[in-house]
Structure 1
Amino acid sequence: MPFAFDFLDDGRVLEWTATDDGADPTVVDDYTPRFFVGPRDPEADIDLTRLRRFYERHPAVIGVECIERRPGFRREAERLLAVDVDVDHVDRVSALARQARQLDAYPVGEVACYNVDFSRGFRYCLERGVDPTPAADLTTLSLSVPVTETTGEAYETLTVAGDTVTGDPATILDAVATAIDRRDPDVLVCSTAEIVPTLYDMAAQVGMDEFTLSRWPDMDYQQLAGQSTYTSYGRVGHSPARYNVPGRAIIDESATFLYDETNLDGVVDLVGRSHKPVQELAWASIGTVLTAIQIREATARGVLTPWNSWRHEFFKPMGTLHDADRGGFIFAPDVGIHENVHELDFSSLYPNIICTRNVSPDVIRCECHRDRADVPGLDYAICDDRGYLVDVLEPIIDDRDAIKAAIRDERATDDPDEERLTALEGRSDALKWILVACFGYQGFANAKFGRIECHEAINAFAREILLTAKQRLEAGGWDVVHGIVDSIWVTPAPDVPASERTDLDMLATEITDAVGIRLEYEAAYDWVAFVPRRNDSAGALTKYFGRLADTDEYKIRGIETRQRSTPPFVEAVQRDCLDRLGEARAPEPVLERLHAAIGRLRAGRVDPDRLTERIRVSKPLEAYTQYTHTVAALERARDQDLAVHPGQQVAYVVVDDDKSSRDRVALAHEVIDSYDAPYYETQLVRAVESVLSPLGWDRDDIRQWLADTTDATLAAYSE
């Protein structure tokens, strides 16, 4: 099966199939992309004659025909226009479809388009029924450059397959060419895709006309898209320019979530499920991959994919709207340190609710069962016909359960196969992310097939399930100290004798049978601490930490150690303080460790590299109104011709927080001789406050203790 697809300038398509000793191309010269146009309202009487004539005269269109297709899950086959596009213009399908909605002959909003905004590799695989799962294991070659090299027209340093090469352009190009010849990689894993055009520019500078990364002799590389900045769920992101090298897939490590969170095995697993080729899947978001899987299922059912989401929300009374507009159930945590805590989790709760309750956009609030109340508290009906979303998710749930079982079995052997474990874990993590996204995507306004009523129904079922679990556990002699949507923490009820307390495994089985979704015994903890909110005695819903029983491992959520911006030194001190808290259950040993860390900090004994903060840039430099550390860092980056775009990270060390200029910080790659100790002392105090707040201590108490302390114990100074 081909794993890479190249669209040549002459209209041909290359299919590349991986083999044990390289890759073989197949030339395809009869591919024609297609999209569809029709009335948005099935009851509307719209004459498509003028639209057909418009497309028949368009130079980028090679054919138009009337055809019967289903434009939606709740609609029967209707007469639509099928527009065949010259493959040379495959990237102009969206522009062609947009013209259909702009014709004066049709009122605004009356014309709808389908199968429009597909990436070209995915479109090719979908329309021709091609499975892009590699036929053999893919070979890779890594290419990376330090951030300081990204501004010039030529590299002086480049890491090739783990070996750092330094020298003039010819030296670096020779190293790359040698590695390409020796490995003949299927995948180029680049720290930034800009490596591709830069290497070709370097070759042109030194006259190395024979240099190429391509497997196809007539084309070196293509630029598929320019860089852009976007906003998703209020978070700014940056999409770098995208490039294509014929015969090879490019994975840009600066712009790949799924490869970063899993590995190549996880990426390939999702390729087989979504039919997005390796290169497209690597740069895709979780939602994009989930959508591709859904589009495949819709296509199998004969349903087209709408270009834009226009599903109206079904009418509902004000009372129902109030009841529906809630999330999953969360119990207020009992702030403090709790001994002998047990955690139970529902396995893939939201995906399993979808599958066991048949929650799907095509069957929720169906007309055929409109008088039935299937969703607790909302009285929504759910059709008996199997929803398409169930067919999308059920194989993923089942496969992940099987993969997790295989991981447990492999780990239980005397000599685990680490390579096999890595592959299995990559696949498990990839499927986990798809399952994580499937619920939220039902409420996403731009989801191709989502519906807000599905989102509401899933939450309603989840609340009912968690309350059922709480009641059964308390009846069995356990106190619930916290619960978050699909997880619940319990301790033995003090007023119930151990002889009358029901075993947790038995209770988990009973609850599983009652709700139809497996409740798993997740972990036992020696202790768990639930953290209060800042400046408030109420418990923070998602901040807690605890030590797993009979181990030195912790489960940590929400506090500084879990925050990517936290400097490594602060993280290490906080983890050390957690150990001290676990040993003593008292504040003094923790405070002594803090005192020692502050002493090292003030004495200049902390490596500045361990004080690096990494912050995601949210907007262009000129858009900031306050002079923050980020602004100072961006100014320094600009002075050094380093491009840091909104959505990317900037790394710096605070060297003098009292200054109001770019000298306030130093970029992480610069030579740093000193740092602002008082600033990082404040960071340490804040981190230790998170550790001690379950005991009732705040930062004022910590500051007072530090002020009153003149000597710490010698043990506190041990490394």
Structure 2
Amino acid sequence: MPFTIDFLDDGRVLEWEATNDGATATEHDDYTPRFYVASRDPDTDIDLTQLHSLYERHPDVVATEIVSRRPGFRRDGESALAVDVDHVDRVTPLARQAHQLIAYPVGDLACFNVDFSREFRYCLETNRDPTPAAELSMLRLDIPVTETGQDTYSELTIAGETVTGSAGDILTTVQAAIETHDPDILVCSTSEIIPTLHEMATNAGVDDFSLSRWPDVDYQQLASHSTYSSYGRVGHSPARYNVPGRAIIDESNTFFYGETNLDGVLDLVSRSKKPVQELAWASIGNVLTAIQICEAHDRGVLVPWNSWRHEFFKPTGTLHDADRGGFIFAPEVGLHENVHELDFSSLYPNIICTRNVSPDVIRCDCHSDRDDVPGLGYSICDDQGYLVDVLQPIIDARDEIKTAIRHEKARDDPNEDRLTELEGRSGALKWILVACFGYQGFSNAKFGRIECHEAINAYAREILLTAKQRLEAGGWRVIHGIVDSIWVTPDPDVDDEDRKDLKTLATEITEEVEIRLEHEAHYDWVAFVPQRESDAGALTKYFGTVAGDDEFKIRGIEARQRSTPPFIEDVQQDCLDRLDATRSPDAVLDCLQDAIKRLHTGTVPVKQLVERNRVSKPLEGYTQNTQNVAALKRAQEQNLAVHPGQDIEYVVVDDEKTSRERVALAHEEIESYDASYYETQLVRAVESVLSPLGWDRTEIQRELVETRVPELMAFATRNS
């Protein structure tokens, strides 16, 4: 079971298997990746003979044959041209030539199984399981932000030990660590460490330096860095590198390793057939697609290179009804006592599995007269859809893991290592389940279909309405609800003896909708925050205290926002503690006053005021002199590489300025900060705490002024 696979330029493949005594390599020189060409439309008859003959004579093609394959889940076996290629890097260029080699209309011909990542393709086609057979050893390499973008490093941290000095000193230390630890995985703060170290060795004349386990290849570049935009958000994809015999995890370009841990990564490796290195840099959708491709492969279904699914015809009225999201009950702004939160367990994935919502069975021809999806009139075939087979094992596995976590925590002496493993695996599966619904409506999804997206939402709306009706009939008042969660408090107009037990109600609702309704939490109180500049409730901004616990649950407000400086976060948390203890706005304002005094007396450490913001465009793309622009100018001045989609950290030192002097970068020596700017941020954070009680920013600032005037007068009297 190889944990990583390398592809050499001469066509050889190296499978690396982890053992208790180190990794061993197995060479293969007979691997020939394959793609397919077939008719895009089942009603179009294409003669593949000419294309077969042309590919057969191509110097990069090893073999060709006409085979029977299913070009889609809704299609039976059809003739397809299979093309075996001499090297994995030649698959995409050869597929592009399909229309150049034969004069078929562009819409008639389609290529399949083309854009697979290299290691995933190998595991899929050779039926290899990339789950490591032994525990993987790891070595961590870090550089400080001041070294990013530099041609040579003067400081580098290896396995927690920092080394500074000349290039020779750093290279010697890294090489010694590699030989001592012999890591299976290199965890790098940025993958640029790999080419930079080798370039440093070349420049310093160090001939025997290498991070690789294979003597002939030091490293390979797999992809260049790029900037992309997804749903209006700019992201940065760093360059990707490969070191033979070792998997690379780039902390600046990993979702699952960052959000979970290595155990979470390895759980998904076993389900997706994507080895560690590819799994680490993959997005949620990429991993979900890989799991779907494995299911398609088992069913003999080819994977389209480019998605071309048309939307089924529907009347305008149906389009209007279908184009809606989940159901929402606007939150009642204010502070509510004795609140219970109930959540449907993995609602959308369970809707898919219990209602058989899958692209291959929705609006099937065999049941076109049925009205299965509420409000939309869509039929769903009785045959089980492939998406159910993909998701049900994940749902079941996560339920088992969550049960194991509860049992482990209930022990007198919980095994922390075991808990870390279980929580990592649970977190990884959660992200797949979270994404599976939205991916059905994603235009680039390999097997998605917008009708599935619409049907899932329709079922979800009906389920939440059913829960609301049953809860209200049982003597509970709904104060908020959104998609799969609902908050209730005892209805004051219903006598206690007439109110139905919440656990009993949840069980009854579970039985009716066939999806488990779980009691998520009981709160002593919950406060729902209004929208900025509006009295309406913000859907995802609330906070409260869990009954019988000192724990706060916080969503949406500053303490949960990644850009918030630690000082602002801490003050907001202190304000929440005051509100919990006193229910008094005055106590919260006292906390604010104290924080403002600390700001203006200069006693707040500057490291506690660091903001972290995402850069959305290159420096020359900005037209306004924002704080980000000032920070980018300082970074440019120091030759630091900050790309669109990456974060930049700084402290605001003079917000009145528009030049680079407006901010100082977090790693610089900072002597002062703009107290007035951070006071404004504090007031904004406290407004989030007090707005459920009817206070807005204007009232808070007025109270601050009225408090300060007597203080100033008293100060003047004492010193007169």
**TM-score bracket relative to the smaller structure:** over 0.9
| SS of 1:636 mapped into structure 2 | helix
Superimposed CA distance per residue, residues 343-380 of structure 1 (whole angstroms, 9 cap, x where no aligned partner): 11100000000000000000000011110111111111
1:68 aligns to 2:62 (yes or no): no
Aligned mate of 1:519, from 511, 514, 517:
517
Question: Structure 1 residue runs of 4+, over 4 Å off?
Answer: none
CA contact (8 A) 1:50 1:105 kept: no
Structure 1 match to 2:457: 459
Distance 2:109 2:675 in 1: 64
**Match 1:211 to one of 209, 212, 217:** 209
Q: Tell me the distance in 2 between the aligned counterparts of 1:324 and 1:267.
A: 36
Q: What is the letter of the counterpart of residue 3 of structure 2?
A: F
Counterpart for residue 717 of structure 2: none
Correspondences of 1:136-155 after superposition (within 5 Å):
136-155=134-153
In 2, distance between residues paired with 1:122 and 1:394? 22
1:143-542 equivalence runs, <5 A: 143-542=141-540
Displacement after TM superposition at 1:501 (Å): 1.0
Q: 77-86 vs 254-263, which deviates more? A: 77-86
Q: Distance in 2 between matches of 1:326 and 1:155?
A: 53
CA offsets 1:559-587 (integer angstroms, 9 cap, x no match): 11111111111111111111111112221
Aligned counterparts of 2:420 and 2:148: Cα–Cα separation in 1: 32
For residues 387-407 of structure 1, what are the alpha-carbon distances to aligned partners after superposition, in whole Å with 9 as ceiling and x for unaligned?
Answer: 000000000000000001111
8 A Cα contact 2:651 2:666, kept in partner: yes
Q: What's 2:656 paired with?
A: 658
The aligned residue for residue 44 of structure 1 is 44
Counterpart of 1:25 in structure 2 is 25
Give deviations 1:168-196, integer Å, cap 9, x for gaps. 12221222122212211110000011111
- The 3-state SS of whatever aligns with 1:630 is helix
Partner of 2:18: helix, strand, or coil? strand
Q: Secondary structure at the match of 2:664?
A: strand
Between stretches 616-625 and 359-368, larger displacement belongs to: 616-625
Match of 2:54 in 1: 54
Q: In structure 1, what is the equivalent of residue 641 of structure 2?
A: 643
Look up the match of 1:105.
Answer: 103
Unaligned runs of 5+ in 2: 712-720
One-letter amino acid matched to 2:196: T
1:564 is aligned to 562
Distance of 1:701 and 1:54 partners within structure 2: 78
Contact 2:38 2:111 in 1 (8 A): yes
Whichever residue aligns with residue 522 of structure 1, its letter is: E
Task: State the number of aligned residues.
Answer: 711
Q: Is the 8 A contact 2:339 2:525 kept in 1?
A: yes
Q: Distance in 1 between matches of 2:21 and 2:545?
A: 49
**What SS is found at the alignment partner of 2:110?**
strand
Cα 1:239–1:712 change in 2 (3 A) is farther
Q: Distance in 1 between matches of 2:270 and 2:539?
A: 38
- Aligned partner of 1:629 in structure 2 is 627
- Work out the CA distance in 1 between the residues paired with 2:238 and 2:199: 18
In structure 1, what is the Cα distance between the partners aligned to 2:493 and 2:638?
67
Quote the Cα distance in structure 1 between the aligned partners of 2:126 and 2:396.
28
1:696 aligns with 2:694: yes
SS at match of 1:702: helix
Q: Which moved more, 1:168-177 or 1:402-411?
A: 168-177
Structure-1 separation of matches of 2:33 and 2:92: 12
Alpha-carbon displacement from aligned partner over 1:142-189 (angstroms, at most 9, x marks no partner): 000001112322211111111111121222122212221221111000
Question: 3-state SS of the aligned residue for 2:358?
Answer: coil
Task: Report the Cα distance in structure 2 between the residues aligned to 1:655 and 1:478, rounded to whole angstroms.
Answer: 51
Q: Given that residues 475 and 499 in structure 2 are in contact (C-alpha distance below 8 angstroms), is that contact kept between their aligned partners in structure 1?
A: yes
Unaligned runs of at least 5 residues, structure 1 = 714-719
3-state DSSP of counterpart to 2:367: coil
- Cα deviation, 1:477-497, whole Å, max 9, x if unaligned, reads 100000111111100110111
The 1-side partners of 2:624 and 2:30 are apart by: 58
What secondary structure is seen at the aligned counterpart in 2 of 1:674? Answer: coil
- Summarize deviations over 1:575-626 as a string: whole Å, max 9, x none: 1111111112221111111111111111111111111111111111111111
CA shift, 1:198, in A, is: 1.3
Deviation sequence 1:288-341 (CA, Å, 0-9, x none): 000000000011011010011111111111111111000001101010000000
Q: Distance in 2 between matches of 1:101 and 1:233?
A: 32
Residue 603 (str. 1) matches residue 598 (str. 2): no
SS at match of 1:101: helix
Partner Cα separation in structure 1 for residue 281 and residue 540 of structure 2: 30
CA contact (8 A) 1:249 1:279 kept: yes
| Counterpart Cα distance in 2 of 1:276 and 1:61 | 26
Contact 2:147 2:640 in 1 (8 A): no
Which residue number corresponds to residue 715 of structure 2? none
Alpha-carbon deviation of 1:232? 1.4
Q: 1:102 to 1:587 in 2, by over 3 A?
A: farther
Contact preservation (8 Å) 2:131, 2:266: yes
The residue type paired with residue 491 of structure 1 is T
State the 1:49 CA deviation. 3.2
Moved more, 158-167 or 352-361: 158-167
What is the one-letter code of the residue matched to 1:577?
A: C
Tell me the SS of whatever aligns to 2:366.
coil
For 1:424, give the aligned amino acid.
L
**CA RMSD in angstroms, aligned pairs only:** 1.2
SS of the residue 2:350 aligns to: helix
**Which residue pairs with 1:34 in the alignment?**
34
Paired position in structure 2 for 1:716 = none
Structure 1 counterpart of 2:115: 117
Contact kept in structure 1, 2:50 and 2:102, CA below 8 Å: no
Residues in 2 aligned to 1:93 and 1:473: alpha-carbon distance in whole angstroms: 57
**1:35, 1:113 within 8 Å by CA — same for their partners in 2?**
yes
Return the alpha-carbon distance in structure 2 between the equivalents of residues 101 and 390 of structure 1.
36
SS where residue 708 of structure 2 aligns?
A: coil
Q: Report the 3-state secondary structure (helix = DSSP H, G, I; strand = E; otherwise coil) of the residue aligned with 2:23.
A: strand
* Percent identical residues: 73
Deviation at 1:10, TM superposition (A): 1.6
2:562, 2:320 → 1: CA distance? 36
Query: Does structure 2 retain, via aligned residues, the 8 Å contact 1:266–1:423?
Result: yes
Post-superposition offset of 1:210: 1.4
Q: How many angstroms does 1:504 deviate by?
A: 0.8
Does the Cα contact within 8 Å between 1:478 and 1:501 map onto a contact in 2?
A: yes
The amino acid that maps onto 1:58 is H
**2:51, 2:102 within 8 Å by CA — same for their partners in 1?**
no
The 2-side partners of 1:104 and 1:272 are apart by 40
CA contact (8 A) 1:101 1:109 kept: no
Matched to 1:626, the amino acid is Q
Task: Tell me if structure 2 keeps the 8 A contact 1:270–1:430.
Answer: yes
- State the Cα distance separating 1:101 from its structure 2 match: 3.2
CA offsets per residue over residues 253-286 of structure 1, 9 Å max, x none?
0000110000001000000000001000000000
Letter in 2 for 1:490: V
- Secondary structure at the aligned position of 1:341 is classed as strand
Alpha carbons of structure 1 residues 195 and 712: separation in structure 2 relative to 1, 3 Å: farther
Q: Distance in 2 between matches of 1:297 and 1:278?
A: 20
Moved more, 392-401 or 38-47: 38-47
Partner residue in 2 for 1:92 = 90
Per-residue deviation, 1:207: 2.3
Distance (Å, rounded) in 1 between the aligned partners of 2:61 and 2:145: 45
Aligned AA for 1:700? Answer: T
| Cα separation, partners in 2 of 1:54 and 1:619, compared to 1, 3 Å | farther
8 A Cα contact 1:595 1:712, kept in partner: no
Match of 2:716 in 1: none
Structure 1 residue 408: deviation in Å? 0.7
